[in-house]
Amino acid sequence: MDLPVEEWKSYILEKWALLPKSVQVTISKAETLSDIFLHSSSLLQPEDEMFLKRLSRGYLVGKDPNAPLFYREEGNKKFQEKDYTGATVLYSKGVSHSRPNTEDTSLCYANRSAALFHLGQYETCLEDIVRAQMHGYPERLQPKMMLRKAECLVLLGRLQEASQTISDLESSFAAKPTLAASQFQILQRTLCRLKMKIQKKENLTETVSAALTKAFEDMDLREENKQISSASASVSLCTDPFKGRYLIATKDILPGELLVKEDAFVSVLNPAEVLPLHLGLESKWDTRVTNGDLYCHRCLKRSLAPVPCDGCSYAKYCSQECMQQAWDLYHNIECSLGALLLTLGVFCHVALRSTLLARFEDAGEVTRKLCGDISNKDTRLPESKNLVQTLSYDLGGESEKNGKTVETPIPGCDINGKYENNYYAVCNLLPHTENHSAEYKFLCALSISALCRQLEAASPQALMTGLTSSKLKAAMAPVLCPESSIWGVAMLRHMLQLQCNAQAITAIQQTGSKENIITDSRQVRLATGIFPVVSLLNHSCSPNTSMSFVSTVATVRASQHIGKGQEILHCYGPHESRMGVAERQQKLRSQYFFDCTCPACQHGKHRTTAEPRWEAFCCCSCRALIQGDEVLSCGNASCTESVSRDHLVSRLQDLQQQVGIARKLLRNGKLERAIQQLLGCQHDAESFLSAEHSVVGEIEDDLAQAYAALGDWQKSAAHLQKSLRVVEVRHGPSSVEMGHELFKLAQIFFNG
Binding interface with Zn ion (CB under 5 A) = 296, 298-299, 301, 309, 311-312, 315, 318, 322, 335, 541, 596, 598, 601, 619, 621-622, 624, 634, 636, 639, 641
The nearest distance, CB 66 to Zn ion, in angstroms, is 19
The nearest distance, CB 48 to Zn ion, in angstroms, is 26
Bridge partners (DSSP) of residue 550 are: 553
Whole-angstrom distance, CA of residue 322 vs CA of residue 365: 30
Q: Which of 743, 675, 739 is nearest to 705 (CA)?
A: 675
The nearest distance, CB 264 to Zn ion, in angstroms, is 13
The nearest distance, CB 628 to Zn ion, in angstroms, is 13
The nearest distance, CB 121 to Zn ion, in angstroms, is 16
Number of H helices, E strands in the chain: 32, 16
The nearest distance, CB 550 to Zn ion, in angstroms, is 12
H helices within 308-406, ranges in order?
A: 320-326, 332-334, 338-344, 346-358, 364-372, 378-380, 387-401
Whole-angstrom distance, CA of residue 56 vs CA of residue 343: 6
Measured from the Cβ of residue 458, the count of other Cβ atoms closer than 10 Å reads: 14
Query: Concatenated DSSP letters for 105-164?
Result: HHHHHHHHHHHHHHTT-HHHHHHHHHHHHHTT--GGGHHHHHHHHHHHHHHTT-HHHHHH
Query: Which lies closer to Zn ion via its Cβ, residue 199 or residue 609?
Result: 609
Query: Which lies closer to Zn ion via its Cβ, residue 70 or residue 592?
Result: 592
The nearest distance, CB 239 to Zn ion, in angstroms, is 21
The nearest distance, CB 326 to Zn ion, in angstroms, is 8
Q: How many CA atoms lie within 13 A of 547 on its CB side?
A: 24
Query: Which lies closer to Zn ion via its Cβ, residue 44 or residue 322?
Result: 322
Query: Which lies closer to Zn ion via its Cβ, residue 335 or residue 498?
Result: 335
Query: Which lies closer to Zn ion via its Cβ, residue 266 or residue 309?
Result: 309
Query: Which lies closer to Zn ion via its Cβ, residue 503 or residue 552?
Result: 552
Whole-angstrom distance, CA of residue 554 vs CA of residue 562: 20
Under a CB-based contact definition with an 8 Å cutoff, are residues 278 and 7 in contact?
no
H helices within 5-141, ranges in order?
A: 6-17, 21-29, 33-41, 46-56, 67-80, 84-97, 103-118, 122-134
Q: Which of 13, 34, 17 is nearest to 376 (CA)?
A: 34
The nearest distance, CB 135 to Zn ion, in angstroms, is 17
Whole-angstrom distance, CA of residue 243 vs CA of residue 594: 10
Whole-angstrom distance, CA of residue 292 vs CA of residue 338: 13
Of all helices (H) and strands (E), which one includes residue 249?
strand 244-249
Query: Which lies closer to Zn ion via its Cβ, residue 34 or residue 540?
Result: 540
All residues at 6 or more sequence positions from 728 whose CB lies less than 8 Å from its CB, including other chains? 738
Query: Which lies closer to Zn ion via its Cβ, residue 16 or residue 71?
Result: 71
The nearest distance, CB 459 to Zn ion, in angstroms, is 13
Query: Which lies closer to Zn ion via its Cβ, residue 25 or residue 457?
Result: 457
Amino acid at 328: D
Query: Concatenated DSSP letters for 626-659?
Result: EE-SSEEEESSTT---EEEHHHHHHHHHHHHHHH
Query: Which lies closer to Zn ion via its Cβ, residue 369 or residue 651?
Result: 651
